[in-house]
Each structure stands twice: as C-alpha cells, then as structure tokens.
C-alpha cells in the first residue's frame, strides 16, 4: 500500500511538472489585408510540436516553456519566425512569397520595347501604369492585385484537360433510359478554386460540375437495410428556369466506424521527378502523406515506392506503428530527373501484390502532377495498363498536386479505370479534408461498380438532361453487364446527381424540332404509371463480389417548391448553377452569380467545417473576375524572367488548355 501511494505521488508530481513546463500559445494568421490564411503550418523552434491554422486562420499550440520562437509557413507565403516572449496570444501577418514575382516581357501581339517595362527591384513588382501603357491591357494571363504585384496566369501554361461535349436534352419518348457510372471524385472543385484564388477563371474544360457538387458533405440518411447504399430523391423547380424541373438523385454509403475498418495494405507511390520540385508539389505532398500516416493503426502497413527516371522501393511494407520511420523516409525525398510514371505504377502493384491482405483494404495512393515523360506516357497506354490491374483486388487513389504542367486528364483516367478516386490537393487544409476528415471514404470501399439507370415517364417528362457526368455515361445495355466497370463508393461517401427536366407541354427553344412519333400515342394513353415521374435503378457489387445487386426506387410526379426543399438540395443546386456559369454552359439559361449567392446563403446550414462559407466567397470572387474579364481573346506567349537573386532560369508559359 505504501509503495502504491509513492507511485501515485510520483505520477502526480510528474504531471504537475509537465503542465508547468508547457505553455499554450493561440492566435490568428492573416495576410497584409487582414484576410485569414488557413492551412498554415505552425511549429515550435526547436521543432517538437506542430499544428495548422483552421478555416478562420486561428491556431492553438501547446509547447515546452523553453521554446522561444514559433515558425509559420504556408505555400505561397514567406515563412516567418516570431519571438514568443511573454505573449499568450500571438497574431501573425504573412507576406506573399517573392518567388511568384517576375520581370515580364510579352512577345507576340504586343510590339513594345523591354525597357518600357519598369521593374521595381525594391518591391519586386511592375507598376500598373507601366504594364498598362506597355501592353495596353492586351496580354491575357497577367493578373494584378491591389498591391500592384503581377503573377503568371494559370491559363498560360501546359496543363491538360479532357475535352468533353456537354450533355444535351434528350426526348423521353425516343430515349427513355439514362445510364451512368457514379462519381465520387472532387478534384475539379479544388482545382478551379486554385484558379480563382490566383485571380483567374478556370478553363471551361477544367470544370466538371458533378465533381463540384460532390465536393461537399450532405446530411443524407444512412442505409437501414442490408444494402450498403441508400437512394434519396427530391423534385423541385430549376433555380435557373422555373418552367423546368430539377430532380435530385442522391446516394449515401454506409459509414463504417474507423475501429471496424479492415486492416490496410497501402503503397504510397510518389512522383519525385524534377517537375515536382516546387513548393506546392513535393513539399506539400510530403506534408499530406504525413497527415495520413498519423491515422495509421498498428495493423495497417504502408510501403513507399518512388519514381523519376526509374522506380524504386524507398520503404518496404512497414507497420503503422512505426510512424517515425515512415515520416523519416518521406522527409528524405527530393525531386530530380525525368518521369517514368508507368514504371512506378508497375512497381507499386508488384509491392501491393506481395503484401496483399486477403480480408483487408489493398490500395495504392499515387501522388503526382501527372506529367509523365519517359516510357509509357500516352493516355491510351496508361488506360490499358490500369485496366490490366483492375481485377487484382487492389484499388487506386490518385492525389494531384501543383500547377503549370498539371495533367488532369491523365489522372482522371488512372482513377476511373483503376477502381479508385481522385482528389486535387492545393493546400494542407485540402489534405486534411481528403485524408483525415474523409479518411474512410477515401480509402475504404463499401460498394464497387455502382451504376445508375433512370427511366423517364414521357407522360410527364418531355425531355431531360443529366447535369455533368459527361465522362461517366454508359450504354443502356451496360447497366446489366457485370463485366462493365463503374465507380466505387467508400465508407460514408455521398453522391449527388441532378437531372433538369422539361415537362410535357412546355415549349422550349432548347429542344430540337422533330416530327411527332406515329406509334407512341396509344402506349402513353394506356400507361399504368400515371403518377410516376421516373424510376431509379441502381446496381452495385460488394468490394469482393463479382455479381451485382439491384435496387429500385420510384419517384412520384410531385413537385416541392424550392424554398421548401432541404438545405442540401438547395445548396447542391447552387453549386450546380455555379458550375454551369464557370463552364459557360449552353444550357445555363437564366443562371447568374447573384442567384447562386442568394440560394447558397439561404442553404448554408451549420457549416461546422466552413466549406460552404468558403464556397460563397469563391462565388463572389468569380463574380468579380467575370466582371473584370478582358474583352478580347488574345493569347500571346509570355516570357517570364525571375529576378537574378531568385536563382532561377527562364521559363516560357505557352498558351493552351
């Protein structure tokens, strides 16, 4: 008993000492205009504790009493070390990094002497008056902010996006079936956010409306029966044309508690080629995967495969218990050389197969900018490679990083054909969302090859249009073909799709003029489904199954006024309208930014993570950019020269999508 008392006393003394030896520092990080900066890495010096700022720029960190400095760093900003002193509240202002500031010479449509562009070496900027006089506003892709600084436009680059024809209206009498594979990817939203936050509207091909909608979390009811997926539907008037109807078809996947998730066999496949050297690529990638490493359990294992000119194993399969060892390998990575992405993919599947967990989650996490330039590199070759691996039981997650040479089209193919999902990481906050907040959905599949087929009743539906999902369309016969690949849903995932409907009897210029059909009238008059607007059919397989299961739901012809629809319906509709505006859709009709803002503001809800609030700010910024767009379409080549002190070489940004 005496010994027990001594032990308790010692523990109490140690705890008391520990609490006295630590201190808590809180504060807010902003830019020079007072705007909050989220995702800032805050760490003590010497480093022992780290945290990051939240959506409002706030942070709180507990550090040892003897730490005198805090370090603040974020992509796109100059790092800063701040003396703590006796402060308990430490607010910090970060300045934009000078790496983004350039001497500029425009070559092409503007015949202007280089000397006319006066470069201020103290502020490392070009005065607006100088650039306006020299280029006369004709150089697309040079953006000035209120501080007179200029940045290269993301539109002046070698990024690649798939060119897809937008879905048009189809007559329900002649084409009553609409079939598509679900899509849980959200890369398009964070990518277009990157464009807008750097002062540019995105290329229209970069806008995939369904990925924008599915970026956000929705409070749909969980499945209650044996099926791991629930079907939710609502019908209202289309916000951009009140004569049209908007049908929401939503899916909610079963959410599995983390402790009940199967053990993981993961392979971090990391691009360490020379194109990954910039701060928003490999350094951000490493920070992201370290966040994921913190979520690993002892029963989880991870290997690290890297590729540049060749592929190699940087870390053999290692238990998640050894987090320090995994992070040490991540911290040791450096970018150099060419990019043999196909070689890396082959090696990653080899390592994943060697460590395959029969009853576990086997997955490769590919992190890259997609710029493959050695070996197998064409989209078709890579698609063939990934298809050959699809039946191995190994899933694929693709994380995209960077800008300038970003290859979105290539990474979409890899994720779509490799039984996987695709996210674009533009900051640490996004990494936290994808790899922490949505950990189960990103990594653990509960239903695979999920397909939807909607049959429209021509008695009420004259024509319909699927909003988005252009690269997910399937043939009618593909729905019952279990060999046809489709999208996968992870733990807790939601999927939202919208159909815009032109009701029977409504005259509309969006419809093509065709003659009435001779043999359909009698069929319609004798239809037994007079109260049904449409029928939803869903097929899915279990993660290890090869035979699909069928679910059906009938949607009645009942219209709920928009103001009475759920917040999730109204907010998702606002995102869809915003996507059509950014895409410059031929079907945007009366859509406008003011309507998007009003609809989203009234449907924001609790928004505990702040994503919907951030969406509203993004729409407002896009609205301002749209109002300030250049009225011409000049696309000159722009030669960019760093200040000599930046120790960088000449770059050329060529126009192109």
List, for residues 415-460, the tens digit of each pLDDT value.
777 677 888 888 888 888 888 877 777 778 899 999 999 999 999 9
- Mean pLDDT across 522-541: 80
- More confidently predicted of 54 and 253: 253
Lowest-confidence range among 89-93, 307-311, 441-445, 650-654?
650-654
Please check whether residues 383 and 517 belong to one and the same domain: no
Confidence of residue 144 (pLDDT cuts 50, 70, 90): very low
For position 75, what pLDDT does the model report?
Answer: 66
Identify whether 46 is preceded by a cis peptide bond (ω within 30 of 0): yes
Lowest-confidence range among 136-140, 178-182, 188-192, 224-228?
136-140
Distance CA 510, CA 488 (A): 34
Burial pattern 313-332, b for ≥16 Cβ within 10 A else e, equals: eebebbebebbeebeebbee
- Mean pLDDT across 341-352: 87
For position 37, what pLDDT does the model report?
Answer: 86
- Mean pLDDT across 612-627: 91
Query: Is 276 part of a structural domain of the chain?
Result: yes
- More confidently predicted of 587 and 157: 587
Confidence of residue 644 (pLDDT cuts 50, 70, 90): very low
The CA distances from residue 361 to 14, 186, 299, 413, 433, in Å, are 41, 22, 11, 22, 20
Lowest-confidence range among 62-76, 81-95, 238-252, 514-528?
514-528
Q: Is the pLDDT of residue 136 over 60?
A: no
Confidence of residue 529 (pLDDT cuts 50, 70, 90): low
Q: Is the pLDDT of residue 384 over 60?
A: yes
Distance CA 475, CA 469 (A): 13
Please check whether residues 220 and 264 belong to one and the same domain: no
Q: How many domains does the chain have?
A: 4
Please check whether residues 405 and 475 belong to one and the same domain: no
Residue 491 maps to which CATH number?
2.60.40.1230
- Mean pLDDT across 498-511: 90
Contact indicator for 288, 324 with CB cutoff of 8 Å: no
What rounded mean pLDDT belongs to the chain?
79
Please check whether residues 502 and 595 belong to one and the same domain: yes
Query: Is 640 part of a structural domain of the chain?
Result: yes
For position 97, what pLDDT does the model report?
Answer: 64
- More confidently predicted of 545 and 245: 245
The CA distances from residue 61 to 295, 430, 472, in Å, are 20, 21, 45
Please check whether residues 179 and 276 belong to one and the same domain: no
Distance CA 205, CA 195 (A): 13
Burial class (CB in 10 A: 0-12, 13-18, 19+), 114: middle
Please check whether residues 539 and 405 belong to one and the same domain: no
Could you please report the per-residue DSSP string of 98-145?
GGG-EEEEEESS----GGGS--BTTTTB--HHHHHHHHTT--TTEEE-
Please check whether residues 351 and 425 belong to one and the same domain: yes
- 491: closest CA among 211, 223, 187? 223
Q: Are strands 41-45 and 22-30 parallel, antiparallel or unpaired?
A: unpaired
Distance CA 361, CA 443 (A): 8
Residue 81 maps to which CATH number?
2.60.40.1120
For position 139, what pLDDT does the model report?
Answer: 33
Confidence of residue 119 (pLDDT cuts 50, 70, 90): very low
Q: Which one-letter DSSP state was computed for residue 483?
A: T
Q: Which domain range does residue 137 map to?
A: 99-156+635-653
For position 414, what pLDDT does the model report?
Answer: 77
Beta bridge partners of 397: 365, 421
Contact indicator for 228, 255 with CB cutoff of 8 Å: no
Classify the C-alpha dihedral 504-510-515-519 as positive or negative: negative
Could you please report the per-residue DSSP string of 484-506?
S--EEEETT-EEEEEEEEEETT-
Burial class (CB in 10 A: 0-12, 13-18, 19+), 272: buried
- Mean pLDDT across 545-555: 95
């Amino acid at each position: 008993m005496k010994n027990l008392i001594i032990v308790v006393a010692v523990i109490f003394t140690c705890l008391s000492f520990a609490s006295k030896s630590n201190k808590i520092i809180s504060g807010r990080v902003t830019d020079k205009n007072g705007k909050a900066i989220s995702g800032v890495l805050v760490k003590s010096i010497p480093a022992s504790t780290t945290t990051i700022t939240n959506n409002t720029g706030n942070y709180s960190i507990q550090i040892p009493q003897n730490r005198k400095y805090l370090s603040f760093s974020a992509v796109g900003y100059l790092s800063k070390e701040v003396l703590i002193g006796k402060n308990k509240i430490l607010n910090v202002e970060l300045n934009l990094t000078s790496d983004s500031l350039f001497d500029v010479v425009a070559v092409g449509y503007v015949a202007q002497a280089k000397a006319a562009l006066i470069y201020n070496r103290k502020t490392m900027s070009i005065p607006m008056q100088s650039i306006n006089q020299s280029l006369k506003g004709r150089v697309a892709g040079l953006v000035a902010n209120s501080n007179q600084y200029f940045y290269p436009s993301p539109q002046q680059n070698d990024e690649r996006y798939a060119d897809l024809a937008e879905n048009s209206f189809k007559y329900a009498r002649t084409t009553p079936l609409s079939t598509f594979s679900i899509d849980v990817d959200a890369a398009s939203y964070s990518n277009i956010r990157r464009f807008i936050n750097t002062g540019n509207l995105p290329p229209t091909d970069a806008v995939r409306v369904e990925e924008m909608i599915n970026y956000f979390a929705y409070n749909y009811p969980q499945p209650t029966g044996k099926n791991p997926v629930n079907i939710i539907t609502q019908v209202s008037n289309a916000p951009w044309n009140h004569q049209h109807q908007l049908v929401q078809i939503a899916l909610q996947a079963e959410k599995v508690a983390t402790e009940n998730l199967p053990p993981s066999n993961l392979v971090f496949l990391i691009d360490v080629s020379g194109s990954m050297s910039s701060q928003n690529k490999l350094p951000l990638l490493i920070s992201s995967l370290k966040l994921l490493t913190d979520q690993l359990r002892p029963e989880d294992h991870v290997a690290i495969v890297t590729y540049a000119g060749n592929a190699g194993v940087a870390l053999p399969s290692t238990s998640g218990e050894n987090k320090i060892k995994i992070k040490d390998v991540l911290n040791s990575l450096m970018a150099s050389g060419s990019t043999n992405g196909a070689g890396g993919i082959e090696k990653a599947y080899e390592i994943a197969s060697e460590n395959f967990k029969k009853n576990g989650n086997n997955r490769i996490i590919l992190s890259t900018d997609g710029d493959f330039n050695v070996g197998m590199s064409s989209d078709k070759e890579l698609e063939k490679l990934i298809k050959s691996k699809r039946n191995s039981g190994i899933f694929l997650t693709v994380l995209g990083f960077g800008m300038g040479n970003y290859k979105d089209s290539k990474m979409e193919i890899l994720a779509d054909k490799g039984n996987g999902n695709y996210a674009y990481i533009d900051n640490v906050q996004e990494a936290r969302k994808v790899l922490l907040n949505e950990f189960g959905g990103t990594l653990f599949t509960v239903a695979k090859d999920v397909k939807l087929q909607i049959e429209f009743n021509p008695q009420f539906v004259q024509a319909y249009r699927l909003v988005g999902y252009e690269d997910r369309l399937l043939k009618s016969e593909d729905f019952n073909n279990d060999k046809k690949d489709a999208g996968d849903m992870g733990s807790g995932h939601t999927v939202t799709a919208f159909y815009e409907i032109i009701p029977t009897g409504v005259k509309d210029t969006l419809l093509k003029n065709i003659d009435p059909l001779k043999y359909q009238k009698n069929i319609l008059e004798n239809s037994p489904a007079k109260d049904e607007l449409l029928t939803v059919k869903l097929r899915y397989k279990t993660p290890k199954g090869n035979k699909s299961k069928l679910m059906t739901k009938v949607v009645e012809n009942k219209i709920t006024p928009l103001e009475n629809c759920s917040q999730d319906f109204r907010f998702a509709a606002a995102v869809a309208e915003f996507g059509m505006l950014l895409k410059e859709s031929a079907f945007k009709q009366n859509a406008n930014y003011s309507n998007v803002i009003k609809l989203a503001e009234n449907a924001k809800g609790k928004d505990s993570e702040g994503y919907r609030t951030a969406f509203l700010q993004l729409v407002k910024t896009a609205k301002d950019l749209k109002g300030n767009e250049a009225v011409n379409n000049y696309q000159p080549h722009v030669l960019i020269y760093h200040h000599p002190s930046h120790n960088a070489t000449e770059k050329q940004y060529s126009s192109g999508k």
